[in-house]
Amino acid sequence: MDVGFNGVINEILLLFLVPANAMNPDSVVVAYQNISAPIGSEVILQCYSQRIVWTQDRLNDRQRVAHWDWFSINGEYKVDRVLDMFSAGDQRLYNSYNQGRVLMSTSAFSSGNFSLVIKDVRTNDRGIYSCNLHHHYCHLYETIKIQLNITRSAKKVRKMWDGEKTVIVALLGTTVVLPCENHNHIWTERHSEEEQQVVHWDRSPPGVWHDQADRLIDLYASGEQRSYGPQFIRKRMNISETAFADGDFSLTISNLSLGDEGIYSCDLHHHYCGIHERRIFNLFITDPVKVNFTHKTCKRFFIF
């Protein structure tokens, strides 16, 4: 695909799940782009992401939630929502029948223990339960399933693995705990977004690997921007002040010179969500555009 603007030709090739380098194995190259632009022109290296994680989380901490669902195993397809718990500690039961009998720890989002406690377990509690952790802001979803069977014999009480899920056989009338634990910081900690989101622009000369690249710009979600290198270079390179609001981290380079040729990389890091994306631009500088003027002879006809 060729797109022309200001004498610039773009050739875009998308690459997925390619490690950026051994120093940062979590970073992946999501796009590679060859760009040619003439001396003296302006070029825009387009680094754009529509993912909501690159904008502010305006719902703050209401984005993390744990759900427990119940599935019937009596030959009929039936699903019920048992309980919701939000990171602020609020819990919502969907059936008054479970009031005071079914609950989660109020410290789940700090301890990482999302287990479901069922008191005075009854025969109609039998079924498959799913523990669902949703982080809507980071677009993360994790689920585990546990099967609960009920017995009247203490000798049959046990816990086992059936190859797909944990199976618990509980004694009627006792208290049972359906385990669901996740101690990953994404579920247990609250971080300041402004400290967790950053974009880097780097440049290396033609043929030089990225690990030897020079840093051009750091931009943080807080609005702080750091530019590096000689002043005359800084003045020709900039990113929009609304980058984190628009999700547009493109780098504009004005008055191109031969010394601007090289490999540029745009690295988007969201440390809280564990997302690291890299977009690479191979910039070639060409001769100035020549403008040819065509002189046309104007013939005058006089009519008498």
pLDDT band per the 50, 70, 90 thresholds, residue 6: very low
Q: What letter represents residue 33's amino acid?
A: Q
225-227/214-220 β-pairing: antiparallel
3-state secondary structure 208-274: CCHHHCEEEEEEECCCCEEECCCHHHHCCEECCCCHHHHCECCEEECCCCHHHCEEEEEEEEECCCC
Q: Does the pLDDT at position 111 exceed 50? A: yes
Work out the percent of the chain whose per-residue pLDDT is above 70.
Answer: 80
Place of tokens 């609005």: 223
Q: Which is higher by pLDDT, 293 or 23?
A: 293
Neighbours of 2 (CB within 10 A): 7
Answer yes or no: are the C-beta atoms of 137 and 56 closer than 8 Å. no
Answer yes or no: are the C-beta atoms of 79 and 63 closer than 8 Å. no
Q: What mean pLDDT is predicted for residues 232-248?
A: 85
Task: Count how many Cα atoms sit within 13 Å of the Cα of residue 242 in the half-sphere of its side chain.
Answer: 2
Answer yes or no: are the C-beta atoms of 57 and 196 closer than 8 Å. no
Distance CA 211, CA 20 (A): 10
* pLDDT for the residue numbered 55: 55
Contacts of 262 (CB under 8 A, 6+ apart): 203, 204, 205, 206, 208, 283
| DSSP H or E stretch at residue 44 | strand 43-45
Backbone angles phi, psi at 276, to 5 degrees: -140, 110
* pLDDT for the residue numbered 130: 98
Distance CA 262, CA 268 (A): 20
Give the chain's length: 304
Q: What letter represents residue 61's amino acid?
A: D
Q: Does the pLDDT at position 15 exceed 50? A: no
| DSSP H or E stretch at residue 110 | helix 108-111
* pLDDT for the residue numbered 58: 53
Q: Does the pLDDT at position 289 exceed 90? A: no
pTM: 0.57
* pLDDT for the residue numbered 30: 86
* 3 state SS of 188: helix
Distance CA 271, CA 249 (A): 17
* 3 state SS of 111: helix
Beta-bridged to residue 230, according to DSSP, are: none
Per residue in 116-160, pLDDT (tens digit) is: 999 999 999 999 999 999 987 777 889 999 999 999 999 999 999
> What does the mean pLDDT of the chain come to?
82
Answer yes or no: are the C-beta atoms of 132 and 68 closer than 8 Å. yes
* 3 state SS of 109: helix
Backbone angles phi, psi at 207, to 5 degrees: 85, 0
